[in-house]
Amino acid sequence: MTSGERTEANLRAYAIHQRVVGSLFWLPTVLLYLIDQVGLTQALQLGALYYLTVVVLEVPSGWFSDHVGRVAALRVTAVAWVGCHVLFLVGGLGPIAGAQVLLAVGYAFLSGTDSTFHFDVLDADGRSSEFESREARVRTGLLYATAVTAIVGGCLALVDLRLPFVAALLAAAVQLGATVGMSEPPRSARQASFAADLRSIAGHLRRPLLAWVTIYVVVEVVLIHLVSELAPPYLVMVLERPTDDPAGAAVIAGLLAATVAAIGGLSLRYTESARQRFGVGAVLLALASVTAAASVAMALFVSFFVLPLVVSRGVQMAATQVMVPGIISRRVEQHHRATMLSVTSLLGRCTYAMVLLVIAAEHLPRVLDTAAMVAVVAALLAVVTAIRPSVAAELRADQDAT
pLDDT tens, residue by residue, 247-272: 555 667 677 778 888 898 888 888 87
- The predicted pLDDT at position 54 comes to 86
Domain count within the chain? 1
The region that residue 91 occupies, defined by phi over 0 for left and psi between -120 and 50 for alpha, beta otherwise, is left
What is the band of 38 on the pLDDT scale with cuts at 50, 70, 90? confident
Contact 111, 342 (CB under 8 A): yes
Does some domain include residue 157?
yes
Q: What's the whole-number mean pLDDT along residues 47-62?
A: 85
Does some domain include residue 258?
yes
Contact 91, 378 (CB under 8 A): no
- Domain holding 350, by residue range, is 3-181+192-401
Does some domain include residue 187?
no
- Does this model's pTM top 0.85? no
Does some domain include residue 260?
yes
Q: What's the whole-number mean pLDDT along residues 36-61?
A: 82
Which of 27-36, 54-63, 236-245, 380-389 is predicted with the least confidence, judged by mean pLDDT? Answer: 236-245
Report how far residue 331's alpha carbon sits from residue 340's, in angstroms, rounded to the nearest whole number.
11
Does some domain include residue 186?
no
Q: What is the CATH number of the domain that holds 359?
A: 1.20.1250.20
**Length of the chain (residues):** 402
- Is the pLDDT reported for residue 95 higher than 70? yes
Does some domain include residue 14?
yes
- Is the pLDDT reported for residue 45 higher than 90? no
Contact 212, 385 (CB under 8 A): yes
Contact 100, 46 (CB under 8 A): yes
Tens digits of residue pLDDT in 268-307: 888 878 888 888 889 999 999 999 999 999 999 988 889 8
- The predicted pLDDT at position 230 comes to 81
Helices (H) and strands (E) in the chain, counts: 17, 0
Does some domain include residue 144?
yes
- Is the pLDDT reported for residue 87 higher than 90? yes
What mean pLDDT, rounded, does the chain reach? 86
Tens digits of residue pLDDT in 321-379: 888 988 888 888 887 888 888 889 888 888 887 887 788 776 878 888 999 999 999 99
Tens digits of residue pLDDT in 130-156: 888 899 899 999 999 998 998 898 888
- Burial label for 57, CB within 10 Å (0-12, 13-18, 19+), is buried
- Is the pLDDT reported for residue 399 higher than 80? no
Decide which of 110 and 42 is more confident. Answer: 110
Sequence-ordered alpha helix ranges (H) in 91-130: 93-110, 113-124
Does some domain include residue 387?
yes
